[in-house]
Amino acid sequence: MKSAPRLAAAILGAACLSGLQAAPNILFVVADDLNCAIGPYGDKSAVTPNLDRLAARGLVFERAYCQQAVCNPSRASFLTGLRPATTGVDDLRKHFRDTAPGGKKLVTLPQHFKNHGWFCQNIGKMFHNMGDTQDRQSWSMDETMHTGTHAADTVFANTPLKPGDPAPEYKAPVTEAPDAPDTAYRDGQIARLAAGVIRDRAGSAQPFFLAVGFWRPHLPFVAPKKYWDLHDPAALPSAEPPAPPRDAPAIALHESREIRGYGGVPKDRPFTETEARHYRHGYHASISFLDAQLGLILDALEQSGQADKTIVVFTSDHGFHTGEHALWGKTSNFELDARVPLIIADPRQPAGHGKKTRALAELVDLYPTLAGLAGVAQGLPGNLEGASLAPVLADPAASVKDAAHTWHQHPFYGPASAWQAWGCSMRTQRWRYTEWRSIQSREVIARELYDHDSDPLETVNLASQPAHAARVSELAGKLAIQFPR
């Protein structure tokens, strides 16, 4: 076995690329439930100076998509480079090591880097936080801040009861805005731990792969008061569109069950405008809180002198609805759930710095992309299902795929025995086409078609209109369906 110095030297020699004198560090940052309501994507109601700062030194992908809009399936997908139908992970508790073909021997994205000599560490929620879904073998050392419930990450849940106080009526309030330091919440602690790791690794000959998984802006919408104060709730735009798409099948919608599980939320009626505005205020406050934590990490990267040799990736596991289409939460195939923010900042790729690309991208593409950029594409697992985005980083006008695929079952929450259908969705440059297939018969029971050139908010389902019959037939022929086993 090679000594650590000899191993590091071997890595630096093996991972060299044209113009690259040393193997790059990888800073891989994942938010939770973050839709494209952030500054780099043009949302003027967002207060995200650090995401704007990262976008200025990287390439913003305007059309990046997750493969299933819920935490565990999405994370298992992009961390293995395999689509959910292949991993077999379709709920919140399954582990790809148990469900994917050859799962015990699968090499994950960080594990691939570890096997090539990178020091790999995970701080925060990277794999899913529920059940036995972690993956210690992916990392060089134990994960930290990676398990627990989102409800437990509140001041409310961590305030001891006084003698005689009644037990709480709910797991956590839907919002809270304490006058408290950032470290009252996990993300404040995660950011400081990650910044410390970056500082500690400065000067090391061994490159690092640091995965930082933030817990926000996932429900509940909680953040220190100063982040709420950055936003005037009266000035926040209302959800648009507020109603489901015209002629959309009922199976494409859901009951917004997740948010209704928190305290202070009505269980059996639509939200009032005041309630909805308050929840949207909380979502924006959580985003600003997340942004400030990202800023601490970027500061540490710059102060350590490693910014010019570190590839930074920022994304989210999926998107999120905050009242649009009368939905709250994720677990749909609509654009707002399927689409994710994605920024890749490679200091060696100046062509994309401060620019945006409309090239289609999928989170499953991150594995081959990072391996290629770091010079360790050799030995990649042969079953990866994504495509490298490196050509787009070199030329933002380039394209590597014609469509992005997302899917979701209905209804999501509840036992698998209650699932009725799978919605298989394909996003091209212009269209979103979705087929809903019965789980029992596997026959198509509903279709959706949205024209993003004329209807980017997906307000009208065109699938049943005779004028679009040929388009539906064309897209149906191109939709790659890999039905769950």
Distance CA 468, CA 212 (A): 44
Among 66, 71, 120, 424, which one carries the catalytic annotation? 71
Instruction: State whether the Cα torsion 201-203-208-211 is positive or negative.
Output: positive
Supply the DSSP string of 9-53, one letter for each residue. Answer: HHHHHHT--TT-SSPPEEEEEEEES--S-SGGGT-TT---HHHHH
| C-alpha separations of 283 from 177, 268, 290 in Å | 12, 22, 11
Question: Beta strand pairing status for 355-362 and 59-65?
Answer: parallel
Secondary structure of residue 105 in the 3-state scheme: helix
Contact 26, 113 (CB under 8 A): yes
Burial of residue 321, with CB atoms counted within 10 A of its CB: 0-12 exposed, 13-18 middle, 19 or more buried: buried
- Which residues are within 8 A (CB) of 238 and not within 5 positions of it... i.e. 6 or more apart? 273, 276, 277, 323
* Candidates 95, 112, 116, 128; catalytic one: 128
Q: Does residue 222 contact residue 182 with C-beta atoms inside 8 Å?
A: no
321 belongs to the catalytic site? no
Whether residue 66 lies in the annotated active site: no
Place of tokens 């006058």: 179
- Check: CB of residue 15 under 8 Å from CB of residue 375: yes
Residues contacting 298, CB < 8 A, separation 6+? 50, 53, 54, 307, 312
Please list the active-site residues.
Answer: 71, 128
